[in-house]
Structures are given as structure tokens and as C-alpha cells.
Structure 1
Amino acid sequence: MGGLKPSLITFILTLLIVLFNVLVSQGLGLALGAILMEVKQATTLASVTMLVFLLAGGYYIQHIPAFIAWLKYITFSHYCYKLLVGVQYSETEVYECELGAHWKVLDFPAIYYLGIDNKGWDVFALAVMLVGYRLLAYVALRLGQPH
């Protein structure tokens, strides 16, 4: 219904990326919960953090002001979005936008701004966040225990 590639490999890669995103966001939730140890505070901070991550990730806003542009590099939603777009489109792919007119996918401003190259770095960044958030939760729990 969305006009995505009807390929089994693309479908499986999309599922794996979404699962990876869920695991990373779960790690962030665990870390915030372990640091604050109070449900209301953790829920509030998690909601605000997720909203900032989604806005800075590049899906809703393409032209982020320069003073907060660095935020997209610490958000897992940015890397997940890049991977999902990169699975659907390639740099050499073209699409038909008018009768008989074909344009390269990279000519579309949102995809050009996002960049669909360096998929390996995106997976690496998500893997670092996956381990880092869980390690942060572990450290917070170890330091928060009474001795």
C-alpha cells in the first residue's frame, strides 16, 4: 500500500532495522529508569528525550538550525531512518515524477539532505548505542545500590 519494494530481502532488512531500533530505544528506557529510579520522573524525561530525538532525527524537520544540528548524530532515530530509506532506495535509482520525466532519487531534497550512503556506519552507531545505553543502565544500578 505504501509503494515500497516488493522484495523479500527488503522486507527482512526492514524488519531487522525496526527490531534494532526497538532494542536501542529499550536500552535508552532502561538507562533512564535506572538513573532516576522514580516512575514519574523517568516517564517525563523519556517523553521529552524521545520527542527531541524524533524532531532532531531528520524525519520531521530537514533543515535543523546550526546550533542544534549536532543533536541528530546522538539520536538513534536518525540512523534508523537513514537505514530504512537506504534499504528502499539506492543512489543510482530513478523514479517517475511526471509523465515521462525520470529523476534520480538523490535529486529529491529530503533524501539528498539525509544521505543514504554509509550504511555500515549507521549500523555501527546503533550498535554502540545499544551497548552503551545498557552499560549506562548497569553502571547506574551498580552505583545506586546501598552498600
Structure 2
Amino acid sequence: MLAEERSVDMYKLSAYFSARNISDLPLDLILPIIVLVIICVMVGLRPSYIAFSQNMLTVFLCILAAQGLGLIIGVAFMDVKKAKILASIVLMTSMLSGGFFIQKGPFFISWLRNISFNNYDSYQHHCSSDSCSPPFIRELRIDHSGLEVWAMMPMIIGYRPVAYLSLRRTKIMTVA
């Protein structure tokens, strides 16, 4: 559809890309709120507006960073199968290096932790391998320094322009 509409100059690529990103925001915010409310009730998180808002902020920023990375991967390949393979590899690497499964990895791949958006989930900075017990989950909150927010901002701000410039550079073939 984009190829056909671009071939007859219906709109600029920047207008399409901006509209696409802006129109995705409501759904990107509503669904995580629903899921987080369900999780808070089921797990018994502290019923505080501030705690919920901080958790929602980190989840929303993580979604925006992951979405931007997905846009880059999708634009880079323009082939669903290849993009799925690379996305699976990148997301699994991000999850493994982000500390979900291991807290400290080998030194030669430890730098991946710093560029993994999964590393900046709110509970990562409050749970060490010595103190992780089920009650820790009741204390989810943003680190006092705001590390999660500041670390994900370059990802959020940087990924989308890279995706846009890649899309602009890509020659989209029109379907006859």
C-alpha cells in the first residue's frame, strides 16, 4: 500500500512515518495499562498511584524502544521472514544480556547489557541475586536516579530517525 501511494505522490514519506508513529501511541499505552492493572491485582503489588505510574512509565518507554528497534529491523530487510529471524535473535540477545536469566555474564559480552532495553525494566535495579525472593516484587519502582528513563531516551529518540532514514533510502518497488 505504501509503495502504491508513494508512487503517485499522494503524501510525503515523512507524513506517513509521523502519522504511523503517532497513531500507534494510544494502543501502545492502553494495552500495557490493562496488562499492568491485571498484574498488579494478581501479584499483589503495592496499590499506589505513584508506584503504578512509575512502572507504567518504564513499561511504556521499553515498548517505544522495542518498537523503534522493530521499525529499523523491518525497514532494513523489507522481507517478513528475514526480519522475523533477525528480530528473534536481537530480542533473545537483549533478554539474555538484560539480566532476566543471569545477573552477570562473561566479560566479553557484558557490554550488551548496557544497550539492552530489557536491562532497564524497573525491577532489575532492585533485585540482586542474593536478595531475590518473592516479596521483592511488591517493591517495584523506578530507581531513584531515574536511570531507566535516561538510559532508554537515546534508544527512543535514536531508533526512529534511523528507521525513517533507512526507509527513505530504500527503494520501494511498486506492485503492478
Q: Same fold (TM over 0.5)?
A: yes
Q: CA deviation at 1:68?
A: 0.5
Q: Return the alpha-carbon distance in structure 1 between the equivalents of residues 53 and 105 of structure 2.
A: 32
Aligned residues: 123
Q: Distance in 2 between matches of 1:84 and 1:55?
A: 16
User: Once the 2 structures are TM-superposed, how far is the Cα of residue 84 of structure 1 from its aligned partner?
Assistant: 3.9
Unaligned runs of 5+ in 2: 1-41, 133-141
Percent of paired sites with the same residue: 40
**Richer in strand (by share):** 1
Q: What code does the residue aligned with 1:136 have?
A: V
Structure 1 residue 4: deviation in Å? 2.5
- Mapped pair 1:57 → 2:98: yes
Match of 1:29 in 2: 70
Aligned to 1:78: 119
In the alignment, is the contact (CA less than 8 A) between 1:34 and 1:137 conserved in 2? yes
Letter in 1 for 2:93: V
Structure 1 stretches of 4+ moved >6 Å: none
Q: Structure 1 length as normaliser, TM-score?
A: 0.72
Secondary structure in structure 2 of the residue aligned to 1:136: helix
Q: Deviations over 1:94-114 (max 9, x none)?
A: xxxxxxxxxxx779456xxxx
Q: Which residue of 2 aligns with 1:20?
A: 61
**Segment of structure 1 superposing worse, 55-64 or 3-12:** 3-12
Deviations 1:71-127 (A, max 9, x none): 000100001x2x3455xx6xxxxxxxxxxxxxxx779456xxxxx856433312211
Map residues 1-147 of structure 1 onto 2, 5 A cutoff.
Answer: 1-79=42-120, 81=121, 83-85=122-124, 108-109=130-131, 117=143, 119-145=145-171
Contact 2:103–2:129 (CA under 8 A) maintained in structure 1: no
Task: Give the Å deviation of 1:131.
Answer: 1.3
The one-letter code matched in structure 2 to 1:131 is I
Question: Structure 1: which 5+ residue stretches go unaligned?
Answer: 90-104, 111-115
Return the alpha-carbon distance in structure 1 between the equivalents of residues 116 and 145 of structure 2.
16
2:165 alignment partner, SS class: helix
SS at match of 2:105: coil
The 2-side partners of 1:9 and 1:43 are apart by: 37
The answer to whether the 8 Å contact 1:55/1:61 transfers is yes
Q: TM-score with structure 2 length normalisation?
A: 0.61
Q: State the one-letter code of the partner of 1:29.
A: G
Rounded to whole Å, the distance in 2 between the matches of 1:144 and 1:129 is 22
Query: 1:125 is matched by which residue type in structure 2?
Result: A
Counterparts of 1:45 and 1:107, CA distance in 2: 30
Say what the alpha-carbon RMSD is for the aligned residues.
2.5
Do the aligned residues in 2 keep the contact of 1:53 with 1:75 (CA within 8 Å)?
A: yes
